Amino acid sequence: MSGNMNLTLKVWRQKNKDSKGLLETYNVKNISPDMSFLEMFDVLNEELITKGEEPIAFDHDCREGICGMCSMYINGRPHGPKRGVTTCQLHMRSFKDGDTIVVEPWRATAFPVIKDLSVDRSAFDRIIASGGFVSVNTGNARDANNIPIPKDDADTAFDAAACIGCGACVAACKNASAMLFVSAKVSQLALLPQGQPERYMRVQSMVGQMDEEGFGNCTNTGACEAECPKGISLSNIARMNRDYIAAGLGSE
C-alpha cells in the first residue's frame, strides 16, 4: 500500500530485573500510518514469534489513553514526540518512512525493569495506599450537590484526578522525581471538602512514602508537566508543597 513505511527500531531488550539489557535493532516493513505505535509493536512481535524468537514484552491494557500502562520512552521522550498523548494513542503518521526509532523503558530506581520495556510501577500503588482513607459516610448514596463545592475547586480537583498514574512524569524528569504524580493525588482530595479531615496527615504520609521509594528530588524543570499525557499542572506541586509546609509547621 502506498504511504506505508519501513522503519528501523532500536528496542531495549532485557531478560529480567537483574540482567543487563541492551538495544536490539529490528527492521519493520510496510507499517501503515494509521496504526498506533503499539499496533506496530504487535506486528513486530507476530514476526518475532513466527521466527521462533522471544517477543518484546511491553505493558498495555486499555489502548485508549486511560489506563496508563503503555510506558515507552520513544526517541528520548516518554510516550513519543507528541504532547498530551499516551503511547497507545500515538500514531505511526507521526513518523516518516525510513526513520530510526529508539524505544526504551522508563528508567528510575523506583521503577525497576521487569522485562524489556515493562517496568514495575507498584511504587505508585504504595504511595496511593499510604494516603490512607477518606472519611465519608457510608450508607445510602447521597443526593447530588448535597455538599456544596465551588465550581472552580471542583474543576481543579477534577483536572488533578485526570492523572492516570502512567509514570511519564518520572520518566521525563532528569531527577526521576515523582512529584507531579504525588501532587496530583494529593490535590484531588485536598481541594474537596471530603478530603479535609485527613488532608495534612495524607500529604505527610504520601511524601514520606515517595521518598522511601527512591524517587529523586524535584528541581522544578517542568519536564513532567510538558510530557504528562493528561496535562497535570505544576501548580499541583506548589499546592502539595504548601500543604506539606503547613502540615510540618502545624502538626504536633
Partner 1 sequence: MSSFTKMFSSSIGNKILVALTGLFLCSFLIIHVSGNLQLFYHDNGMAFNTYTVFMTTNPLIKTVSYILYVSILFHAFKGLHLAYKNKKARPVSYAVTNASANSHWTSRNMGVLGTILLVFIVVHMSDFWYEYKFGHLPFVKYEKNLTTGEITSSPFQGQISGKQEQYVVEAENKEVTIVKDLYAEVQEEFKNPLMVALYVIAMAAVSFHLFHGFKSGFQTLGLNHKKYNGIIRFLALYVFAIIIPVTFAAMPVYFFLK
**Cα torsion 68, 34, 47, 9: sign:** negative
62 binds ligand FES (CB under 6 A): yes
Q: Which cell is 131 given?
A: 494516603
Q: How far is the CB of 230 from ligand FES (least distance, A)?
A: 10
Considering only residues 28, 67, 161, 226, which one is a binding residue for ligand FES as defined by CB under 6 A? 67
Binding site for ligand SF4 (CB under 6 A): 68, 163-169, 180-181, 184, 228-230, 232
Q: How far is the CB of 181 from ligand SF4 (least distance, A)?
A: 4
Q: 61 contacts which partner out of ligand FES, partner 1, ligand SF4, none, CB within 5 to 8 A by kind?
A: ligand FES
With contacts defined by CB under 8 A, name the span among 50-58, 89-97, 104-112, 130-138 that binds partner 1. Answer: 104-112
Q: How far is the CB of 220 from ligand SF4 (least distance, A)?
A: 15
The answer to whether the CB of 3 falls within 8 A of the CB of 31 is no
85 binds ligand FES (CB under 6 A): no
Phi/psi of residue 4, nearest 5 degrees: -75, 160
The answer to whether the CB of 160 falls within 8 A of the CB of 180 is no
Q: Which cell is 222 given?
A: 517542568
The answer to whether the CB of 190 falls within 8 A of the CB of 203 is yes
170 binds ligand FES (CB under 6 A): no
241-248 LR contacts (CB < 8 Å, sep 24+): 243/186, 243/190, 243/199, 243/200, 243/203, 244/203, 244/204, 244/207, 246/200, 247/200, 247/201, 247/203, 247/204, 248/204
84 binds ligand FES (CB under 6 A): no
* Complex with ligand FES: residue 65 or 131, whichever CB lies closer: 65
Question: Which positions lie near partner 1, rule CB under 8 A?
Answer: 10, 12, 21, 23, 73, 75-77, 81, 102, 104, 107-110, 172, 174-177, 204, 207-208, 210-211, 214-223, 226-227, 234-235, 237-245, 247-249, 251-252
